Amino acid sequence: MPRRLSIVVVLLAAATFVSCARSPAAPKGEILWDHYGVPHIFAATREDMFYQEGWAQMSAQADLLLQLYGESRGRAAEYWGASHAALDRWVQLNGVPERAREWYDAQDPAFRKYLDAFAAGINDYATAHLDKITPEYRVVLPVTGVDVVGHPLRAVHYGYMASPSRMEREVRAFQNAAKSSGAATKVAEVQRDDEAFAAGSNTWSLAPSRTTTGHAMLLINPHLEWGNTFYRYMEMQLTAPDYDFYGTPQIGFPVPVIGFNRHAGWGRTVNTIDTVDFYKLTLKDDGYLFDGQVKPFERSTKTIKVKQADGSFTEETIEIRRSVHGPVVYDENGLTVAMRVAGLDRPRMLEQWFRMSEATTLDQFKQALQVMAVPMWHANYADDQGHIMFVFDGLVPRRSGQDYAYWSKIVPGDTSETLWTDYLTFDELPKSIDPEAGYHHNANEPPWDVTMPHLDRTKYPSYVAPTGEALPQMRVLRSLTLITAAPKVTYEQFVANKHSTRMELADRVLPDLLAAANGKTEAARVLAQWDRTTDADSRGGVLFQLFYEKYFVNEAGIAPKLKVKFDPDRPLDTARGLADPKGALAALAAAADECMTRYGALDVKWGDVYRFASGTADLPGNGGAGSSGLFRTIAFTKKVGNKYYAANGETIVCAIEFGPSQRANCVLGYGNASQPGSPHLEDQLPLMVEKTLHPVLRDRPEIEAQLESRESF
């Protein structure tokens, strides 16, 4: 395990040098922090690299990292009080602490040393800089390699996938279906759309045939929650012998989950994979029925400590029952539900991500995916040999039959016919490699239309993904419009397309709305002058968004309101026009009244209403909801007065051209630090306003030209 030999911090602005704990031993590396607070880690060994990464994450994100580890231990209420008790119950009910230990013990010994090194870097930073950690979070220290495994386990399997909110939605859908026959499928589809929006993404890859330089290009563009959550990313470069990767781990993860090395890279989007099933149990004789027999529950108890305001503790006992499917997660109103989660038997998730980041060729990347331990996400790959590949990646349970809609609901738990025990292999997953069309695009829709010609979904079990026949989110159609607009693009056009704030829905329905209005209202005249973008200075977008909310937002969604229905074989020519022009005019009049009441003008600037904020910065925003057809997706859902602030959407954005000399630019809008008082809470936000990216610094001379500080180990 590496030990901190010395720390030398160079504060360039003050031109001062501080050193401590000097050692005569050979240096193990250094961290060069650039002016955006991005750590560039240069390590003598891979073990040292993980150590320095743990140190770097603590330097920028100490409070958040320790909070997340405390939550993933299932001890947050013990540390910070009753408001955390519900999460502790979920973590403990699902056995996350025990499985974290099992996963840690199951790691390859060499990789386990990397995890221990990451933990050591966290602990050594805390020892050296305890004063920089908010006192309430110090209780989590020290951390161990088990924490390093346990937090990603909790975040992925019980945050992204089997979250309490998902369980609650599935239960509501089942109960609603019982009241209204046939409602279940519709509710299930709406649920998945909501989840994809809450944790969604965009990604593109272009083959050499689609670029003017003849080099492949890749767009990395996840949309996730802003703020201090397990979704938060940190931008960094990791360098060690035979390893040089630029990307982003989520805070507390010891490995990047997206990014690129000198030869290849990948982006990811949340896919429509069903990795969690809920089973309705039939109770009998203190057990449950299964294949005609009464089976006993496996029973246990756990105790949760809850810190009180006066510093004392109370204790709460959790009674746990497990069926053959998994733990009972709901038992109310005559409904008892157990939950089964894919991937709990695949402990190599972190190692797989690391192998993906090592891969410099298509074959190596395929081999990394074949570890089959990362349970979800599309993988969209490109490299400097001109290859592109898109994989509907993850662990699809090998089910006995039925389709996606069936498994999206609560299923019978009294028969082994619904109990899966294995997964589809990598070769059985939908994928596209070097397609004829020369592109892959995805914005969280099913995988079938990722390129042209479409993937043949009849070659795969019907439970793998939705059919793709329903109208997708308008963001998906905007993505397709942008990526097919020109036969070839320059790198600059590629980046400009990514930043497009044009609203696809407006292009598809505004002509009919204006024709119906016939220029007779001021609202119609404002929309006729509108450029159909949501740039900060754009006038008319606020009014149209209010119109969208009044006309299109309803339980049935956008599709019934469109005159020309969606045809998946003609996506750019269909899903347009207004089915009810009279109703649309009434909605526009109501939107105009509300716009005047709120803002005193119909042509208020978009950026006066929709804002970006981080740290102390409060700036005009751009982009908007994917449901309105914004590829630059920002959910402005935090309302303060009559202004709306970004709470979800664009996080890390990277555009890479894989030529002989790689070209790469990125931005992390909410900044590369979460620690209170850091200047890097807000310094990248102006780039979001300007719709631009910063150059990726890879080599020492260019990093040192933009150096903020240096730490030597």
> Rounded to an integer, what distance in angstroms lies between the CA atom of residue 548 and that of residue 590?
11
**Known active-site residue 195:** no
**Known active-site residue 682:** no
Query: From the candidates 72, 201, 357, 627, which is the catalytic residue?
Result: 201
* HEC per residue, 326-358: CEEEEEECCEEEEEEECCCCCCCHHHHHHHHHH
Query: From the candidates 215, 223, 325, 680, which is the catalytic residue?
Result: 223
- Residue 16 host element (H or E): strand 16-20
* HEC per residue, 464-525: CCCCCCCCCCHHHHHHHHHHCCCCCECHHHHHHHHCCCECHHHHHHHHHHHHHHCCCCHHHH
303 with 363: CB under 8 angstroms?
Answer: no
Closest CA to 467 of 487, 453, 452, 447: 447
> Rounded to an integer, what distance in angstroms lies between the CA atom of residue 551 and that of residue 510?
13
- Cα–Cα distances (Å) from 511 to 518, 525, 532, 540, in that order, read 10, 12, 11, 15
Q: What is the DSSP letter of 555?
A: T
Count other Cβ atoms within 10 Å, centred on residue 347.
20
Backbone dihedral angles phi then psi of residue 621, each to the nearest 5 degrees? -95, 170
Count other Cβ atoms within 10 Å, centred on residue 351.
21
Closest CA to 318 of 334, 329, 326: 329
Closest CA to 681 of 227, 259, 53, 246: 227
- Residue 190 host element (H or E): helix 183-198
Backbone dihedral angles phi then psi of residue 478, each to the nearest 5 degrees? -65, -40
**Known active-site residue 98:** no
Q: Which amino acid is at 626?
A: G
Core vs surface per residue 552-570: b (16+ CB within 10 A) or e = beeeebbeebbeeebebee
- Residue 401's Cβ-count burial label (10 Å; 0-12, 13-18, 19+) is exposed
- What are the tokens at 650? 């664009």
Q: Name the residues annotated as catalytic.
A: 201, 223, 650
